[in-house]
Amino acid sequence: MSLQTTIEAHVKTAVSEIFDAQLPQVEFQATRKEFEGDITVVVFPMLRVVKGNPVQIGTQIGEYLVAKVDEVSDFNVVKGFLNLVIVDGFYVKVFEDIVATNDYGKTAVEGDAVMVEYSSPNTNKPLHLGHVRNVLLGYSVSEIIKAAGSKVYKTQIINDRGIHICKSMLAWQRFGNEETPESTGLKGDKLVGNYYVKFDQEYKKEIAALITSGKSEEEAKKEAPLLIAAQGMLRKWEAGDEEVVGLWKKMNQWVYDGFEVTYKNIGVDFDSYYYESNTYLLGKDNIEEGLKKGVFEKDPDGSVWCDLTEDGLDRKIVLRADGTAVYMTQDIGTAIQRVKDHPDVGGMIYTVGNEQDYHFQVLFLILKRLGYEWAKNLFHLSYGMVDLPSGKMKSREGTVVDADDLIKEVTQTAGAISEELGKLDGYSEEEKQKLYKIIGLGALKYYILKVDPKKRILFDPKESVDFQGNTGPFIQYTYARIQSILRKAKELDVPFEITTDRVLHPKEKELLKLIQEYPTTVKLAATQKSPAIIANYTYDVVKEYNSFFQNVQILGTDNIKDQSFRVALSEEVGKIIKSAFGLLGIDVPERM
């Protein structure tokens, strides 16, 4: 049981016995460094149920706890804050429990499954930096929710149809000279992406020529022959034209193969795939059901709408007058289909940029109105854009930062900095390259995941690969240092044991306070769908461990009990770093 849980129970009992009042919950905060204490109870919220002076209330509760609770040895009250001093024995007992727990911080699976959607790219270009934030967030949130006790299905919906796909297909047909990934040596997604850019270049030339001939810009954009041809190709695809569908299948497969290489390189995976070419007709039957239930209404022109004005939203079209679906229709149908495919799913998380916030408000509300029980457990994992020092990326103009190039760049940067610092003497070239990738990917993932998802990020690859400060490599280096200590301790035959009858060094106590918070941190990160909570907790643990390392002798002391305890403590810190980084999808090196 954590310190907070233990003290909360005792404080509630104290308030009940002293003031004959029931506290719904107890508010805690970390004790400020200038005051003595290990945990602070905030008295002010208690004034809702206990009338009186906060200092007097805090003093009475403190006196009660010291007299009746073994874990509390002393207290002091500063204004409305009750600072409690906890006995060393409590922390040692907690540590014993931690060491005895397999998969400390993780909870056994129970309850409904959760489906997490992430990536969901278009098949007309490679994955880029924006997709990287998406897949890292989605994968990490999946792992965190799994650690907190839910079964998780990782999925994506691939946007493999529409005018943008036809633009790449048409450009390849017109200008490609039968190029293939094999003939060019390019990954398939890159090859197809090049033709998306080529279409835009040629389209702009046609627009310029039409404007020169006297057309307005608006007319030129609509009448450009390339665009008209792409629209014709889309109609042929929808009609099932054999030649167009064959080309579509061929080029999409090039892209799928390319995506898989990128996913493997970045270290993410999926349990299932949905394709828009299969789902774009879903939802129409659900609209019919909704009309019967009165969830939707039909306008005189035959279009179908959902009136959400009572909930502060607007009227949303779900079927056009000609009976064709809109994106909302498809998303309604896809959500329902996913639960049919996985009946144990009790909720879904959509990892999609914040420009779609309103879309998901509408989608979730419509699904609730349709009466689906699981609709109350839908969540939009909304995130901000990723910017570069050079500015905003544009796919059509080919100014995106390709995900594969980014992985290569951070790996090379990690190698250059490692060589400069001279940390890899005695490594083979193969070992170096493997380590560079671990460090580079760790830098990239940590830099992105340490930021709250809702915030916009300015990503600087060089800044991310820094061995000092709140970075992935700094944490990885601390883990490697701990492994070095453990190897040395093994050589010296130091037993990894916990001695209960010893006075804790203040630095040991601070570390123990932090590591006992790991399970509650995982739960909090799962509840808030925020890998940043795990990332910054890990950094706090590492900072505290490095302070411990600098102020306390681990193997240098002659006291075997101290040696043994500190080695065991180091080992557990290493396990927590590895576990927490695993939830972020980051590897840790044994040597560095």
Q: What percent of the chain has pLDDT over 90?
A: 84
Residue 465 reports pLDDT greater than 60: yes
pLDDT at 281: 86
Residue 210 reports pLDDT greater than 60: yes
pLDDT at 186: 96
Q: pLDDT-based confidence at 423, cuts 50/70/90?
A: low
Residue 433 reports pLDDT greater than 80: yes
- What's the mean pLDDT in 557-566? 91
| pLDDT, tens digit (0-9, with 9 covering 90-100), for 380-408 | 999 998 887 765 444 444 456 889 988 99
What CA–CA distance (Å, rounded) separates 406 from 540?
A: 28
| Report field, pTM of the whole predicted structure over 0.75 | yes
Nearest Cα residue to 394 out of 187, 119, 128, 123: 128
Please report, for the chain, the start and end positions of each structural domain, with discontinuous segments joined by +.
3-86, 162-267, 403-583
Q: pLDDT-based confidence at 467, cuts 50/70/90?
A: confident
Q: What is the mean pLDDT of the chain?
A: 93
Q: pLDDT-based confidence at 233, cuts 50/70/90?
A: very high
Other residues' Cβ atoms within 10 Å of the Cβ of residue 54? 18
| CATH 1.10.730.10, domain 403-583, yes or no | yes
Length of the chain: 592
Q: pLDDT-based confidence at 556, cuts 50/70/90?
A: confident
pLDDT at 498: 84
Matching residue, tokens 């854009």? 385
207, 220 Cβ separation under 8 angstroms:
yes
Report the sign of the C-alpha dihedral through residues 209, 214, 219, 223, in that order.
Answer: negative
Q: pLDDT-based confidence at 111, cuts 50/70/90?
A: confident
What CA–CA distance (Å, rounded) separates 16 from 543?
A: 39
Instruction: Report the amino acid identity of residue 182.
Output: E
Q: pLDDT-based confidence at 115, cuts 50/70/90?
A: very high
Matching residue, tokens 């633009």? 167
pLDDT at 393: 42
Helix (H) or strand (E) holding 109: none
Name the CA dihedral angle for 421, 589, 513, 528, rounded to a multiple of 10 degrees: 110
Name the CA dihedral angle for 458, 463, 468, 470, rounded to a multiple of 10 degrees: 20
Rg (CA), the chain: 29
**Lowest mean pLDDT: which of 159-168, 363-372, 387-396, 428-437?**
387-396
User: Which architecture, in CATH terms, is 3-86?
Assistant: 2-Layer Sandwich (3.30)
Give how far Cα 305 sits from Cα of 19, 294, 318, 323, 328, Å: 57, 11, 6, 12, 11
Q: Which residues are within 8 A (CB) of 19 and not within 5 positions of it... i.e. 6 or more apart?
A: 49, 50, 57
Q: What percent of the chain has pLDDT over 70?
A: 98
Q: Which residues are within 8 A (CB) of 432 and not within 5 positions of it... i.e. 6 or more apart?
A: 415, 418, 424
pLDDT at 346: 97
Exposed/middle/buried for 227, CB within 10 Å: 0-12, 13-18, 19+?
Answer: buried
Instruction: Report the amino acid identity of residue 289.
Output: E
Q: pLDDT-based confidence at 358, cuts 50/70/90?
A: very high
520, 494 Cβ separation under 8 angstroms:
no
| DSSP conformation letters of 236-255 | HHHTT-HHHHHHHHHHHHHH
pLDDT at 422: 73
Q: pLDDT-based confidence at 205, cuts 50/70/90?
A: very high
Report the sign of the C-alpha dihedral through residues 67, 71, 77, 79, in that order.
Answer: negative
Residue 83 reports pLDDT greater than 90: yes
39, 74 Cβ separation under 8 angstroms:
no
pLDDT at 440: 94
| pLDDT, tens digit (0-9, with 9 covering 90-100), for 289-342 | 999 999 999 999 999 999 999 999 999 999 999 988 899 999 999 999 999 999
Q: pLDDT-based confidence at 1, cuts 50/70/90?
A: low
Query: Which long-range contacts does 245-253 make (Cβ < 8 Å, 24+ apart)?
Result: 247/169, 247/172, 247/173, 248/161, 248/165, 248/169, 251/123, 251/165, 251/168, 251/169, 251/172, 251/188, 251/192, 252/123, 252/160, 252/165, 253/188
Assigned token pair, 463: 């800044």
